[in-house]
Structure 1
Amino acid sequence: MPLFDISAAEAVETRKANPFATWPERSRANRVEPVAKPFFKAPFRLRRGEAIFTVGSCFARNVEVELMKCGFEVPMRHLLKKPEFRNMESGIVNNFGTPSIYNEFAWALGERPFVPEEHFVEVLPGKFADMHIVPSIRAENWDWVLARRRAITEAYRTVRGCRVVIMTLGLIEVWFDTKSSYYLNAPPRPSVVKREPERFRLHVLSYEEVYHYLEGALRLIKAHGHKDVAVLLTISPVPLTATHREQDVMVANTYSKSVLRAAAEAAAARSDFVTYFPSYESVTLSARAVAWRDDMVHVTDAIVALNVSRLFEAFVDDDAIGARYQREISEGGVLMAVEWARKIRESDSGEAEAFFRRYGKLAEESVEFAFEYADYLTSKDDYAGALAVLDRAPNADEDLQVVIAGAKLMLKLGKARGAYERLDSFATPEQRLHGVWDNLVGAAKAAGDGELLKDVTERWCAAVPKKAGRTRTLTGRWFHMHRDFATALVYLQQAVKLTPEDATARIFYIQTLDALGRVGDAEANFALVRPTTPNEIILFERLQRRFGVAGNGAAGALADGNKVLERQPSEILVR
């Protein structure tokens, strides 16, 4: 019987009302080139942070990565943390055909018992393999293989607690074990086939067979799963890498995907808890250079990210701006994410928190994005969070810009010595960058460590001699404010010799002489002050008043340096 039986009038009206009913033309902007974006409906909502059960071929593993990036829990990934799967790739859980998908749910949910003796084969003396796991895994002893099987079964059992299931169907050329009467998930090992050549048969499944096992898996999920379970069905765009039939692999693959696509359509039409998501169409109808890696088998990360982003845009509640940036970042990647981060951070749209929560992990891929994220957190006075973001940036320990920004944040957090240590290794004799030395001096001052300050001052002056006068001026001023007038005098005396025209250095020098009771020397230098900047003029006018009030320069009149206006260090920013 037909999947849909629609009256003529309703069919015509539907076509007229549907803006996506006709194929787009190349003469205008379209939803096919270069990246295909087929329309779909979203009959339910995803809840951020919830657990999503994923099952299927290698494309499902790509989807898992994107789900985790966006803050969703993926229970199947927990399997890789178990001892039996340590150091294994995520592809260990690939499941390619509807019969093998059904098998795993049947074993996990109690529909059928798993009998190890039927499914484990000895491939070497004392070494066994589970024939329902990809054959690339090394054979192990019986107990280890059994423990691995139990872990897989337990992982599939977690479907009971997941409201959303994403199932990706892969292929229809499958292997049948005549001894156990079960379909395998992958080809049997060559050594086993050689030993038992009549045991295994290649079956190219019909539509009816594919649908039978798919319907069986869905029935189990509905019966044993979450009471509000919703299943998203997808077809893996990844083609057959090789066919065992006497035809071109392209032809064999077209049949395979067509049957799977037809079965998925039927399942979605007949089960109200099943929805079809057209990621397969998006990939296969997009430009090959955009969608496929160089091996022309696996899809690009960008096309996966685009489709997952489209899924979120439809299934997760977001307002208009959220939908826009999701779409553009999906298409433009990290560069677009950086641009959107800047726009949203600088705007007052209220989107920033949600944006950075969603895309925050991009800080691990892009220094530019990490800075935008850190700037946002800094604006919220979350200096610890900003520092954590920068520390996750690519090459964080080697990127000087990241190191300097991190040091500034540590100063904000009151971790002056940590800031000093972070910068110190970059303060080499060849270092000319002002930001390194200036912040290193700032860290030494914030730590209240005069010896550190002396050390870095000498190193800075040696590395950048033309800045020596100014450097010694500021160091001398710090010692003056900490009432170490003798040390202050040493640095300020050197400063006025190096830069005699610097009014700021001369004013601070006069203050220190006066603090030491050397009033005559202070007055002698008074006439040498030539203020030029507004700040210097203010300092000098105050100096004149104080000396005049004190009666021709009374000793100690300027000793309280804290009351004299001085140039403060520039505000510490992330950049």
Structure 2
Amino acid sequence: MKHPYEQAPPYTKWRHAVAAPATEAVDPGIGFPFRLSRRDRVATAGSCFAQHVGRALRGRGFSHYVTETAHPFVANVAGPFAYEQFSARYGNVYTSRQMLQLVQRALGLFEPADRAWTGPDGHWYDPFRPTVQPGGFLSVEELETDRRRHLACVRTLLDGLDYLVFTLGLTEAWMSATDGAAYPLCPGVAAGAFDPAQHLFVNLEVDEIVADVEAFLALITAINPSARLILTVSPVALAATAENRHVLASNTYSKAVLRVAAEMLARRNPGTIGYFPSYEIITGIHSRGGYVLDDLRSVSEAGVAQVMASFARNATRADEPDPADAPAPHDPVALRQAALFKDLSGLTAAECDEAMLGA
């Protein structure tokens, strides 16, 4: 009788799938459960790495679903003001708790007690989007008007998306002692003032992340039953840790927790949640460090290109014609995959608020 490993496909064996192939031929995206078409409305949220997905999809004719755009009069400064970094102007959503509360706020189910922070310039900043408005707002009224518009745009997003790509970035977070509201940054880093009696540090565990994600997905599918979730884990290392230990140990712990949580979610919710292995593509030993920059945390252009090439092969419909430059008939799949994300200029310029923690 043959044992199970004898007839297993080559991609299940380290020697064939990791050690022997050229770096660019290693592709752990095999078996991804969803195939996106250009008609699908794909929303993005999460840590800074999720920005790469939106830009690449948009650059090659896929629908990066954006519901919050800048007024034409200020379109020339839309980038610094966090428009179209993601599908709405929420900035980096680093943790599962942030994402859950964002969905709850958009649906009118949660209103944090913390309404506005002041900065060193005397202007007003949104505690849950402290960096999206450079220079802050001139008044609390202006801030709250913008916030109402923002949450309405998020609600529109939840109603209309087909897929949500959510990049799990961090387990470490700061929360309000009053109501558990999760901040994207520690108070006092970008705005506000840190108060150890009011601002609590938490390091989310696997079961908490799983519960958060399943809770926000249930809220979305209650109003949009066909919505699907694509999870990724950010390969960008922690800029700093609030734990009293070496940042390398904290980074390893956080990424392991996020990866296990993503696996559990995908296994428990087949057909609704899929995990795409961008983390493995960037950080796997097969890359020999070639997909990170000299700071050893930022992803290189080559790394972004490799992730997007795998996404094209494994998560998009290869039989759908490319409207930009249709491939030659003799090798349509290979040519389309090569062309799909060829324009990578500027893709590695993702805005990461978390880098401020390591300054």
TM exceeding 0.5: yes
Which consecutive residues of structure 2, in runs of 5 or more, have no partner in the other structure? 347-359
- On the 8 A contact 1:56/1:168 being kept in 2, the answer is yes
Q: For residue 237 of structure 1, give the secondary structure of its aligned residue in structure 2.
A: coil
Q: Is the 8 A contact 2:18 2:26 kept in 1?
A: no
Q: Does structure 2 retain, via aligned residues, the 8 Å contact 1:54–1:60?
A: yes
Displacement after TM superposition at 1:244 (Å): 1.5
- Higher helix proportion, which one? 1
Structure exhibiting the larger radius of gyration computed from Cα positions: 1
Q: 1:532-571 residue pairs with structure 2 within 5 A?
A: none
CA–CA separation in structure 2 for the residues paired with 1:313 and 1:27: 18
Contact 2:309 2:341 survives alignment (8 Å): no
Q: State the shift of 1:360 in Å.
A: 9.4
The residue that corresponds to 1:174 in the other structure is: 173
Alpha-carbon shift at residue 248 of structure 1 (Å): 1.3
Q: Could you tell me how far apart the structure 2 residues matched to 1:107 and 1:256 are?
A: 26
CA, structure 1 residues 14+48, in 2 after alignment: closer, same or farther (shift >3 Å)? farther
- Aligned residue runs from structure 1 range 78-477, under 5 A: 78-80=68-70, 86=78, 87-89=80-82, 90=85, 93-110=91-108, 112-115=109-112, 118-123=114-119, 127-135=123-131, 137-140=134-137, 141-157=139-155, 158-190=157-189, 192-194=192-194, 196-225=195-224, 227-272=225-270, 273-285=272-284, 286-318=286-318, 349=330, 355=336, 362=343
Counterpart Cα distance in 1 of 2:253 and 2:222: 31
Rounded Cα–Cα distance in structure 2 between residues aligned with 1:39 and 1:102: 27
Structure 2 CA distance for aligned equivalents of residues 206 and 356 of structure 1: 37
Quote the offset at 1:238 in angstroms. Answer: 0.6
TM-score by length of 1: 0.51
What TM-score do the two structures reach when normalised by structure 2? 0.78
How many Å apart are 1:130 and its aligned residue? Answer: 1.2
Q: Please tell me the residue identity of whatever aligns with 2:33.
A: P
Residues 199 and 315 of structure 1: CA distance in aligned 2, closer, same or farther (over 3 Å):
same
1:184 deviation in Å?
1.3
Whether the aligned pair in 2 keeps the contact of 1:35 and 1:290 (CA below 8 Å) is: no
| CA distance in 2 between partners of 1:26 and 1:44 (Å) | 22
Q: 1:45 to 1:127 in 2, by over 3 A?
A: same
In structure 2, what residue type is equivalent to 1:231?
Answer: L
- Tell me, what secondary structure is at the counterpart of 1:54? strand
Paired letter, 2:81: M
- CA–CA separation in structure 1 for the residues paired with 2:212 and 2:95: 9
- Bigger drift between 82-91 and 213-222 goes to 82-91
Amino acid at match of 1:302: A
Deviations 1:309-361 (A, max 9, x none): 222222323259x99xxxxxxxxxxxxxxxxx8xx88x664959x95996598
Q: Are the counterparts in 2 of residues 233 and 277 from structure 1 also a CA contact under 8 Å?
A: yes
Alpha-carbon separation, structure 1, partners of 2:18 and 2:119: 60
| d(CA) in 2 for partners of 1:35, 1:295 | 25
Distance 1:171-1:20 versus aligned 2 partners, 3 A rule: same
Q: Matched residues in 1 for 2:277 and 2:343: separation? A: 26
Letter in 1 for 2:202: H
Distance change in 2, residues 1:364/1:203 (3 Å) = closer
* SS of alignment partner, residue 166 of structure 1: strand
Shift of 1:202: 1.2
Q: Distance in 2 between matches of 1:263 and 1:35?
A: 27
The CA deviation at 1:306 is: 2.1
> CA 1:259 to 1:143, structure 2 compared with 1: closer, same or farther past 3 Å?
same
1:49 shift after superposition: 4.2
Higher relative contact order (CA 8 A, sep 6+): 2
- Kindly tell me: are residues 34 and 163 of structure 1, through their superposed partners in 2, closer, same or farther at Cα, counting changes over 3 Å? closer
Q: Report the 3-state secondary structure (helix = DSSP H, G, I; strand = E; otherwise coil) of the residue aligned with 2:15.
A: coil
User: What are the Cα deviations for residues 34-62 of structure 1, in whole angstroms up to 9, with x where unaligned?
Assistant: 66421431333211143201110000001
Q: 1:22 aligns with which of 8, 13, 16?
A: 13
Q: Is the 8 A contact 1:293 1:299 kept in 2?
A: yes
Number of equivalences: 329
Alpha-carbon deviations, 1:453-477, whole Å to 9, x = none?
xxxxxxxxxxxxxxxxxxxxxxxxx
Structure 1: any 5+ residue segments left out of the alignment? 1-8, 324-340, 366-575
Indicate the percent of aligned positions where both proteins have the same amino acid: 25
Aligned AA (1:232): I
